[in-house]
Structure 1
Amino acid sequence: MYGMIATWRMAYEGVEDAVRQLAKGTGAGDALVAAIRAVEDEEYYKSVGYGGLPNEEMVVELDAGYMDGDTLSIGCVGAIRDFSSPICIARALSDEPVNNFLVGEGAEKYAHRHGFARKNMLSERAKIHYQNRVKELKQTDRKPYSGHDTVGMICLDIQGHMTAGTSTSGLFMKHAGRIGDSPIAGSGFYVDSQVGGASATGLGEDVMKGCVSYEIVRLMREGKTPQEACEQAVRHFDAELRRRRGQAGDMSLVAMNNKGEWGAATNIDTFSFVVATAQQPPTVYLVKRDETGNAHFEQASAAWMEDYVRTRKAAVERK
């Protein structure tokens, strides 16, 4: 048995390549990092890696996290600038005995010392997105932070080894130095090869209030299926935030257990994810919520898939 599940349609190509490698015996660490790198390197996916959404100073600051489900080792970077593969740096940090979470200048010094490639991560498209948003804010009451998607993945290899990883540019026009849930173990991701793993995307400031990824793994440890665990954790914490604070930010999670069973849940109208196992080819699903709040899955149509790519690759014009 092997498998992989990932947040958002943007992960599809990376997952597709990774599961081919898993079928040949590639380990969960190498497969997961390769799949996330495919998203980081694609400039048209504007919330991860190259071409990611800039902060308020028009600087791309990236966050990433990696976890080994066998050893529970973690490696994380936050607010790192001008390095092309945050997930690779995070994985390298997971091998260190201490200093596993580095941010800003410290993360950049570590990456430089260890030979990671420097790259200006601000693409021309990202500049135009930023400049357009600045103009919009002068004319409307739209929130500057609108637009943020994390790629998060859980991977299981044929040896039963599991890994988890995330990568993101975070909130659009965030304050310099802001870090959300994505690189924080237990919030943005968590995995234990004896149980399974989970990963989150959404408004980090709210997701990390509940350590939702860890909660899903805890529920799976108690015997819940991945789907039951996702639904229970998301529904409960969404309700708790609304009770205590009057509102809850976007929250979508995916999970896979060590049997290759999977699940997903969300508190937004539509959320897409990608899953593949030894029995199931890479498939994109949409999680949709009806007027009563109940969620259901449907496989993304060919037209939806084509439209997704077309809209993201469309030319960006200055307003």
Structure 2
Amino acid sequence: MLNRRKFLSYTTLAAGALSAPRVFAKSSFNQKIAGNKPIVISTWDFGVAANQAAWKVLSTGGRALDAVEAGARIPEADLKNHSVGVAGYPDRDGHVTLDACIMDEKGNCGGVAAMEYIDHPISVARLVMEKTPHVLLVGEGATQFAVENGFKKHQLLTPESEKAWKEWLKTANYKPEINIENKHFTPANMPGGPNNHDTIGMLAIDAAGNISGACTTSGMAFKLRGRVGDSPIIGAGLYVDNEVGGATSTGVGEEVIRNVGSFLVVELMRQGYTPEDACREAVNRIVKKKADGAKDLQVGFLAINKKGEYGAYAIQKGFSYAVCNAEKQDLIIKGKSIY
């Protein structure tokens, strides 16, 4: 239930809003709520552009769900980003397959996995949530569903991605490395330096205080045909509980799935952990299960609680996240790490 603290900045609406909370829902446009809301956060530095698209929705009183969908579509369409969306690197057989999921403040959720030929999996995931009784559609079924709902099929294997795949085929050595995506780019061929990572996970709180999240990726480059990571799986790559907060992940999805990582982070926040401490504990649990202490493994978590407080933690250095609110639209924060 809304309380007086949330209306400290509503000087013109205070009298009516405090006595009738329903007025707030109709009068939230172009108003700044007290504290850190509205706010949107997302993984990696390419989250800045994604956040700015989401902020256009949030800053005019829009719903968090609409914001995270709009934000996730930005890296999905970025031809320089080879681990999300249309320019994603293919699997070892040359097929570009995309994964995504989305979750709203009511617990509704939808996802697609191993979907081909469709360039905005996050929007298809939302349709799965809104138009079907299911949570997850995969492979040819996901593509068919997208086409039936007006999406056009496209060849997603770009010339640049195809070139990288053919180069990889010369050795066909598959050994995931920490932040490997950075190694494909230099400041000379990517504006702003190497900023291509893997998943983008996004969490937003709107002016009404409601939370939604989105997660989208093309998965690990040159993976086995049919491989699906954590990104489209609710509870692994993304989880939202509107009473508590939301969490998302990045890195080696298999380890996140094994630990139901994002759900774990949210449940830790329910117990009173701060977002950063919850992310750190989730990371520690992964590390403790690995014989070598996960020294060659990268997993990171990003979380936000109902108050708008946020934090992140990763196994290895190099993880960053972007924050956008009424005060700043391009803030990059380096996540803390165990190693």
Shorter-chain TM range is 0.7 to 0.9
Check conservation: 1:260, 1:277, Cα contact below 8 A.
no
* Mapped partners of 1:191, 1:249: distance in 2: 25
Check conservation: 2:246, 2:266, Cα contact below 8 A.
yes
2:265 is aligned with what amino acid? I
Structure 1 residues 179-203: Cα deviation after superposition (integer angstroms, max 9, x where no partner): 1111001110000111110000111
Paired position in structure 2 for 1:49:
85
Give how far 1:88 is off: 0.0
1:113 is aligned with what amino acid? E
Check conservation: 1:238, 1:248, Cα contact below 8 A.
no
Paired position in structure 1 for 2:25:
none
- 1:277 has 2:325 as partner: yes
- List alignment gaps of at least 5 residues for structure 2: 1-36, 182-196
* Mapped partners of 1:6, 1:32: distance in 2: 9
Check conservation: 2:57, 2:66, Cα contact below 8 A.
no
Bigger drift between 7-16 and 145-154 goes to 145-154
Equivalent position to 1:192, from 220, 241, 246: 241
Paired position in structure 2 for 1:207:
256
Equivalent position to 1:256, from 286, 293, 304: 304
The 5 Å alignment of 1:82-121 reads 82-121=117-156
Equivalent residue pairs, number = 286
Distance verdict in 2 for CA 1:240–1:57, change over 3 Å? same
Could you say which structure has the larger radius of gyration?
2
Considering only aligned residues, what root-mean-square deviation do their CA atoms show, in Å? 1.9
Check conservation: 1:144, 1:173, Cα contact below 8 A.
no
What SS does the aligned partner of 1:95 have?
Answer: helix
What SS does the aligned partner of 2:87 have?
Answer: coil
Structure 1 residues 232-288: Cα deviation after superposition (integer angstroms, max 9, x where no partner): 221232223347x97673201111112111000000121111112234433112225
* Mapped partners of 1:5, 1:19: distance in 2: 10
Check conservation: 2:294, 2:315, Cα contact below 8 A.
no
What SS does the aligned partner of 1:94 have?
Answer: helix
Check conservation: 2:51, 2:322, Cα contact below 8 A.
yes
2:68 is aligned with what amino acid? L
TM-score of the two chains, using structure 1 as the length reference? 0.84
What SS does the aligned partner of 2:258 have?
Answer: helix
* Mapped partners of 2:144, 2:95: distance in 1: 18
* Mapped partners of 2:111, 2:53: distance in 1: 24
* Mapped partners of 2:218, 2:56: distance in 1: 28
Paired position in structure 2 for 1:79:
114
The 5 Å alignment of 1:230-309 reads 230-242=279-291, 249-287=297-335, 289=337, 293=338
* Mapped partners of 2:68, 2:267: distance in 1: 22
Check conservation: 1:63, 1:168, Cα contact below 8 A.
yes
What SS does the aligned partner of 1:155 have?
Answer: strand
* Mapped partners of 2:302, 2:268: distance in 1: 13
- List alignment gaps of at least 5 residues for structure 1: 295-319
* Mapped partners of 2:206, 2:300: distance in 1: 24
Paired position in structure 2 for 1:143:
175
* Mapped partners of 1:169, 1:261: distance in 2: 29
Greater percentage in strand: 1
Paired position in structure 1 for 2:11:
none
Paired position in structure 2 for 1:32:
68
Equivalent position to 2:53, from 8, 14, 17: 17
* Mapped partners of 1:206, 1:270: distance in 2: 18
Give how far 1:172 is off: 0.8
Structure 1 residues 22-59: Cα deviation after superposition (integer angstroms, max 9, x where no partner): 11111111111111000000010110001101001111
* Mapped partners of 1:287, 1:225: distance in 2: 15
Distance verdict in 2 for CA 1:42–1:179, change over 3 Å? same
The percentage of aligned residue pairs carrying the same residue is 35
TM-score of the two chains, using structure 2 as the length reference? 0.80
2:290 is aligned with what amino acid? L
